[in-house]
Amino acid sequence: MAKQGKQQSPSVSAPSADATDFSSTNTQHDSQSHVDTPILQLADHFLIAMPSMLDPIFGGTVVYICEHNANGALGMIINRPTDMTLDVLFERLELRLEITPHDHLIPHAPVLFGGPVQVERGFVLHAPSADYNSSLSVSSDVSLTTSRDVLEAAAQGRGPQRLVVTLGCAGWSAGQLEQEILRNGWLTVRADPAILFDLPSADRFVAAMNLLGIDPTMLTGEAGHA
């Protein structure tokens, strides 16, 4: 399963309220473009846990992969809500929500458990909008930001209105994710941003399965990817 400390993620270094770390420090993400790209390229893909995945953390999950190269992979679980909601998170970060009825930001949407790596840090998946201090462009539809400024902008109604916030992330060392797929741990499919941003977290597993034309009730332990 995913391990800690085996991959690089956007750097956040400044502490923030209640152990939720969103730094405003200008620390740009190094995507390490010089690193060889693996044959199986899974950035901007969903990983869907197979029934054989009995791991207590990853069983039954959908993971959005943000980065995948020869050093390993980085992603966030997108269907495991925590007890914290966005309005509570903003309050703890001392950010006042200035949203209107026309905004898409849902104050009572849950903050998600993104994975067992860096659980004290916040990760924001969002529709691309402005340039933020610590941000990675995953695709034309999705960016990953770990600096506080993205939430400051969202709170003021001038940031991305489509966003998912996780505490922690999932990481795999070099070749580890590929081995898990070969061992029938995951299905893979190109991500759909509508599933990521527009569906409730409880509906994302079935919706991701439907991208493959699979009825989850009929799923076996056989592996595959699209």
Would you give the end-to-end CA distance of the chain in angstroms?
21
9 falls within a domain: no
199 falls within a domain: yes
Host domain of residue 71: 17-25+36-220
166 falls within a domain: yes
pLDDT at residue 62 in the model: 98
10 falls within a domain: no
pLDDT at residue 143 in the model: 97
Tens of pLDDT, residue by residue, the chain (226 residues): 555 433 333 332 222 334 456 654 443 444 444 445 556 899 999 999 998 888 999 999 999 999 999 999 999 999 999 999 999 999 999 998 886 655 677 888 999 999 999 999 999 999 998 889 999 999 999 999 999 999 999 988 888 879 999 999 999 999 999 999 999 999 999 999 999 999 999 999 999 999 999 888 776 555 444 5
Burial 15-53 (b: 16+ CB within 10 A, else e): ebeeebbbbbeebebeeeeeeeebeeebbbbbbbbbeeb
11 falls within a domain: no
pLDDT at residue 14 in the model: 28
* Cβ-Cβ contacts under 8 Å for 195 (sequence gap 6 or more): 46, 204, 207, 208, 211
163 class by beta-carbon count within 10 Å (0-12 exposed, 13-18 middle, 19+ buried): buried
126 falls within a domain: yes
71 falls within a domain: yes
CATH number of the domain encompassing residue 71: 3.40.1740.10
pLDDT at residue 15 in the model: 29
Report if pTM > 0.75: yes
119 falls within a domain: yes
Q: What is the DSSP string of 141-163?
A: S-EEE-BTHHHHHHHTT-S-SSE
The number of distinct structural domains making up the chain is 1
Query: Distance (Å, rounded) from C-alpha 195 to C-alpha 3?
Result: 26
Burial 122-139 (b: 16+ CB within 10 A, else e): bbbbbbbbeebbbbbebe
Tell me how far CA of residue 128 lies from CA of 58, 183, 210, in angstroms.
Answer: 28, 35, 26
pLDDT at residue 129 in the model: 84
pLDDT at residue 219 in the model: 66
Q: Which run of H or E residues covers position 51?
A: none
Q: Say if CB 123 and CB 179 are below 8 A apart.
A: no
